[in-house]
Structure 1
Amino acid sequence: MSGDLVRWATVAWAVFLGAHLVLNGRWWAWLLPSLLPPPLFVLVPGVLAGAAWATGDLVAAVVSGVALLLGARQAGLHPSALVRRPRRTSEDTAVKVVSWNTQHWCQAKEADPFYAFLHELDADVYLLQEYHHDVFDGTYRLIDDEARLRAEFPEHEVVIARGLVTLSRLPVAATVETVARRVLRVDLRLPDGPDRVLSTFNVHIPVQLRLVSPLRAGFYRAVRDRAGDRAREYAGLRRDIADCPNPAVIAGDFNTTPAVGDVRHITALGVDAVPLAGRIYPVSWQARAGMRWWRLDWVLSTAGAQVHSYRFRDPRGLSDHCVQEVSVSLADPDALASPTVRHDREAPHDALPLSGKHRPEGQ
């Protein structure tokens, strides 16, 4: 690579990164550039820094080095994960929770292997997303597989709403209305005491775009509209968690990578469990086979909920999302702190009834 080419490439990347840092999360159209594979935010400046050093261009090397440092956070790297160890807990009090985007609930696959895989996960609590089928026009239709769910999981209580399913071996204390439209909150009684309640938030934030031609105006209208939908969902979820008096686990498909500006809403909700996964670069979603470069799925906890372990499990071709698996227990009552999320007075109030049937869009 010639010196001039390296310098121009460095300038171009610096301009792009500067625009990304300024516009990301502030202008709806920047949702599209923010969908780049996050590793590019370290790979591109890393290659440019090496090339600039090789050609003796100290200025380009320094600029690329600065871009590399700024891009590390956008890439979602967790080097500390290599030294983080799972927390010890008693098997009598730990609850195994799995969260999984099912990719339209075995719409294009046989149901028997799908249910066999769910049984193999052997979770106390299942938080499942995309309990619907794709209509392939940007919308989805709800399905009714409740009879089989109850037959397959007779030891679990079943709660279904908004294209989401929560299954629990633990007694359901309450199913609570939420401001966020694509969230299902279910409160569970833990076995170590009648007053020990864990709130679970099953989350599916709408995706940023519709899979239609970018040459059509409708493509960009959808991006703008969904940017508004996503902002309302995050504001509603923030309020829902602030109003929750119990320790909580928030998990699901957020359709947000560390490079998307909306990640700041996620980190405000609770403590990210991913350092416990032991991966420098945790990923959960693949665009196609062999291209798992994005993390879209998250598990967070609030004060009083202790996550002891966290791992991704291969979906075995049943979904484009990995399964998230965590072990959770509650802290001693005296150790419980006040909520870590402030009440959002600007959050919307137009939540849908939990029992209501609707046609979800943009998930």
Structure 2
Amino acid sequence: MTAVADPAPAPPVRRRRWGARLLLAAAGAWLIFVLAHRLLSGRAWWWNLPDLLPPLALLAVPVLLLVAVAPLRRARLVGAALAVAALVAGWPGNGVNAAALWHRPPPAPPDAVTVFSWNTWYWDELLAIGPNGERTRDPDRFYRYLHAQDADVYLLQEYLYLTPELDPLPVDGLDRLRREFPGFHVAASGELVTVSRYPIVREHPVDLRPHLARPWPDLPPADSRLPAYHTVKTLRTDLLVGGRVLSVYNSHLHVPMVGLPARRPDTADDTLARHDQRRADYRALAADVEANPHPVLLAGDLNTSPAMRLLRTLPERLVDASPVLDSVYPVSWARYGLPLWRLDWLFTTTDVTVHRYRMVPPDGLSDHTGQLAVVSL
């Protein structure tokens, strides 16, 4: 008797098998990527491009994979396990603020302190369109916006202008600040300005250079008109609040750099140097906070999304104030009119209570929202 060969699988069956294999490969590849991101983010300069991953992708991609593998038969459990593992591994960086659903902060006491932190987008450099189409500066609008926040402490970043070559220029604006806020105390270093209703008993620009992995001879550049802009990315001011000292850190950390290093990376503008400076920003800040015996409030534009590991290198004594926000997915930075993700943060030590915290729309003055918080010691 002649044996009859089994018929070849029908084309639809073959396509389903290939589809299942592709889905499993995609789920496995995404899990490997997420694990690599947790390992390399903030550590390797060549991971800077993946570091710009939109945080919500760490949630959206595994959820889509779970939906895609649901119709599978044999491979469903394996695909779901890979997707869930990627979801869990990436959860700390997806930007979701789940605690906003249940966290209820205590009411603020009468002596609470209102703090407003904001990246001003090159101070009052926004150009307004005049009645005849002319373009003029509109600093009055800038100061009206600041007054509208009615804060006790203002932490302002990007106190500078830019040349057409993107070199920083100093702003001669402290006299007007003092006129606009009579009785307030003002501290400034580089691009950072702190304006406080409370006395400033100590002013300390945090220099990043002692924390660099290697010295960069042109840091700051010899021809810079704002040298501290290159070396001070955090300004600490100790404020006397109700007989106690509150240390307030006003930060604007380096932007992540993308690109290849030069063949001879010996300038501070090289990708390797900027990566080193960004890590030094965090080291300098962490070292100062760790050695500080006072209650601490840190706020500003950290140029760090929830997906970036550097955010988790801050000292353990600093607590993220995000649960006080009323948004499950807070956003502080927009581009081309589209809200993207969060770059601005507020942290405190446990002896500082955050009673209220919200993002304030910038009224067209900046690409960053402001951060308005009410705290007490």
TM-score of the two chains, using structure 2 as the length reference: 0.79
Equivalent in the alignment of 1:250: 298
Q: Which residue of 1 aligns with 2:363?
A: 316
Answering whether residue 130 of structure 2 is matched by residue 130 of structure 1, we say no
* Structure 1 counterpart of 2:247: 199
The equivalent of 1:90 in structure 2 is 109
Instruction: Describe the SS at the equivalent of 1:178.
Output: strand
Q: How many angstroms apart in 2 are the aligned matches of 1:39 and 1:107?
A: 32
Counterpart CA distance in 2 for 1:126 and 1:314 is 16
% same residue: 39
Task: Give the match for residue 359 of structure 1.
Answer: none
Deviating more after overlay: 261-270 vs 234-243:
261-270
| Aligned counterpart, 1:160 | 188
Residue identity in the other structure for 1:61: A
Q: How does 1:179-190 map to 2 (within 5 A)?
A: 179-180=207-208, 181-190=232-241
Contact 1:162 1:183 (C-alpha < 8 Å) held by counterparts? no
Match of 1:275 in 2: 323
What are the within-5 Å matches in structure 2 for residues 168-183 of structure 1? 168-180=196-208, 181-183=232-234
Q: Deviations over 1:314-348 (max 9, x none)?
A: 11111111111111111xxxxxxxxxxxxxxxxxx
CA distance in 1, matches of 2:50, 2:164: 24
User: What code does the residue aligned with 1:185 have?
Assistant: R
Q: How much has 1:216 moved relative to structure 2? A: 9.2
Shift of 1:108: 2.9
* 2:48 aligns with one of 31, 36, 39: 31
For the residue of structure 2 that corresponds to 1:317, the secondary structure is coil
Structure-1 residue corresponding to 2:212: none
Q: 1:206 to 1:71 in 2, by over 3 A?
A: same
Q: Distance in 1 between matches of 2:92 and 2:245?
A: 35
1:145 aligned to 2:165?
no
Matched residues in 2 for 1:215 and 1:203: separation?
A: 27
Amino acid at match of 2:159: Y
| TM-aligned CA distance change 1:135 to 1:13, over 3 Å | farther
Tell me the amino acid that sits aligned with residue 346 of structure 2: V
For 1:71 and 1:12, how far apart are their aligned partners in 2? Answer: 14
User: Within 1, Cα distance between the matches of 2:54 and 2:69?
Assistant: 23
Partner of 2:344: 297
Paired amino acid for 2:71: A
Give how far 1:61 is off.
2.2
Runs of 4+ residues deviating >4 angstroms: 214-218
Corresponding position of 1:263 = 311
CA distance in 1, matches of 2:372, 2:34: 34
Could you tell me how far 1:222 is from its partner in structure 2? 3.4
Q: Report if aligned partners of 2:261, 2:270 keep a CA contact under 8 Å in 1.
A: no
1:16 to partner: Cα distance = 1.8
Deviation (angstroms), 1:62: 1.9
- Report which of the two structures shows the higher radius of gyration computed on alpha carbons: 2
Q: Distance in 1 between matches of 2:261 and 2:42?
A: 23
| SS of residue paired to 1:86 | coil
Q: Which has the higher contact order (CA 8 A, sep 6+)?
A: 1
Aligned partners of 2:333 and 2:368 also within 8 Å: yes
Q: Do the aligned partners of residues 216 and 198 (structure 1) sit closer, same or farther apart at CA in structure 2, a change above 3 Å counting?
A: closer
Q: Structure 1: which 5+ residue stretches go unaligned?
A: 331-363
How far has the Cα of 1:229 moved from its partner? 0.3
Letter in 2 for 1:304: D
Tell me how far apart the structure 2 counterparts of residues 41 and 147 of structure 1 sit (CA, whole Å): 46
Matched, 1:120 2:148: yes
Secondary structure, in 3 states, of the residue corresponding to 2:202? strand
Q: How far, CA to CA, are the matches of 1:11 and 1:238 in structure 2?
A: 36
CA gap of 1:216–1:250, structure 2 versus 1, over 3 A, is: closer
Partner of residue 285, structure 1: 333
* Structure 2, unpaired ranges of 5+: 1-15, 128-137, 209-231
Instruction: Rate the CA distance shift 1:18–1:314 in 2: closer, same or farther, 3 A.
Output: same
Post-superposition shift, 1:4? 4.2
d(CA) in 2 for partners of 1:240, 1:155: 29
Equivalent in 58, 64, 84 of residue 41 of structure 1: 58
Corresponding residue for residue 117 of structure 2: 99
Query: 1:266/1:294 Cα in 2 relative to 1: closer, same or farther (>3 Å)?
Result: farther
1:111 paired with 2:139, answer yes
Distance 1:69 1:137, change over 3 A: farther
Q: How high is the TM-score relative to the length of structure 1?
A: 0.82
In 1: Cα distance, 2:100 partner to 2:88 partner: 18
**What is the distance in 2 between the residues matched to 1:96 and 1:245?**
22
Distance 2:298 2:29 in 1: 39
Change (3 A) 1:13 1:139: farther
Deviations 1:186-212 (A, max 9, x none): 11122x3xx3121111111111127xx
Equivalent pair of 1:269/1:300 in contact (CA under 8 Å)? no
Distance 1:103 1:60 in 2: 45
Q: Is the 8 Å Cα contact of residues 261 and 271 (structure 2) preserved in structure 1? A: no
Matched, 1:77 2:84: no
SS in 2 for 1:286: strand
Structure 1 CA distance, aligned partners of 2:322 and 2:185? Answer: 28
Equivalence for 2:5? none
The answer to whether the 8 Å contact 1:29/1:224 transfers is no
Number of aligned pairs?
321
Question: Which residue is equivalent to 1:62?
Answer: 81
Q: Would you say the 8 A contact 1:179–1:239 is kept in 2? A: no
